[in-house]
C-alpha cells in the first residue's frame, strides 16, 4: 500500500497510526468497493482485480495530492495534471463523505476525521468562490448540481493544470 501515498505524506503518516478497528472498518469499505469495481469488467477479468482502484486510502491520498498541488507556487515539471483530473478528485472527495459516514465514531472523530478536516480547510484556503461557475465547461460533477458540496463552487487560486 505504500505507493498509494506517493506525494501524500500526511495521509501516509496517518494511515500508519490507525488502530486495528478503524483499519478493519476501512477494509470493509474497500471490500464493498472492490465488488463494485469488479462488477464493471468482463467476467474473465474479475478475478484478476484484487484491490480496488478507488480504495479509501487512495481517495485520501488523491485529495491530499490535489490540495498540495493547489498550494504549490508552481507545478512540478514532471507532474502533469489535466483539468479533467480536478473533477475526478472532487468526485473522489465527495465519496469520502459517504465513506466517513459508514465508519465508526473512532474513525470519524479520530485521525481520519482530523486529516479530512485539515485537508478541506487547506483546499478552502487555496481556492476562491466561483459563483459564475467558470470551470463548469471542463469540470462536470456526476451528481445533480443542487446536491453538490460547496467545494464544487470554488476554483483554485492557482490552477494545478496550468504549467
Q: What is the reported pLDDT for 50?
A: 93
Cα 59 off chain centre by: 3
Vertex 110 angle, CA 109 and 116, to 5°: 80
In the chain, the DSSP E strands lie at 127-129, 154-156
pLDDT per residue as tens digits for the range 83-136: 989 999 999 999 999 999 999 998 899 999 999 999 999 999 999 999 888 998
pLDDT, residue 75, reads 55
Q: What is the mean pLDDT of residues 19-32?
A: 95
**d(Cα 6, Cα 62) in Å, to the nearest integer?**
9
**Mean residue pLDDT across the chain:** 90
Domain boundaries, the chain: 8-156
**Ramachandran region, residue 52 (left: φ > 0; alpha: ψ -120 to 50; beta: rest):** beta
Amino acid at each position: 500500500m505504500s505507493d498509494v501515498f506517493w506525494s501524500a505524506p500526511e495521509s501516509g503518516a496517518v494511515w500508519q497510526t490507525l488502530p486495528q478497528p478503524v483499519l478493519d472498518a476501512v477494509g470493509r469499505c474497500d471490500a464493498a468497493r472492490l465488488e463494485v469495481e469488479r462488477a464493471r469488467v468482463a467476467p474473465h477479468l474479475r478475478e484478476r482485480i484484487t484491490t480496488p482502484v478507488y480504495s479509501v486510502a487512495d481517495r485520501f491520498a488523491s485529495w491530499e495530492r490535489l490540495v498540495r498541488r493547489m498550494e504549490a507556487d508552481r507545478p512540478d515539471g514532471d507532474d502533469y495534471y489535466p483539468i479533467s483530473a480536478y473533477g475526478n478528485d472532487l468526485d473522489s472527495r465527495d465519496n469520502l463523505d459517504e465513506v466517513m459516514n459508514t465508519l465508526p465514531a473512532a474513525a470519524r472523530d479520530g485521525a481520519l476525521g482530523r486529516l479530512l478536516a485539515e485537508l478541506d480547510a487547506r483546499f478552502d484556503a487555496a481556492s476562491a468562490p466561483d459563483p459564475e461557475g467558470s470551470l463548469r465547461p471542463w469540470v462536470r460533477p456526476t451528481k445533480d448540481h443542487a446536491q453538490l458540496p460547496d467545494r464544487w463552487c470554488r476554483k483554485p487560486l492557482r490552477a494545478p493544470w496550468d504549467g
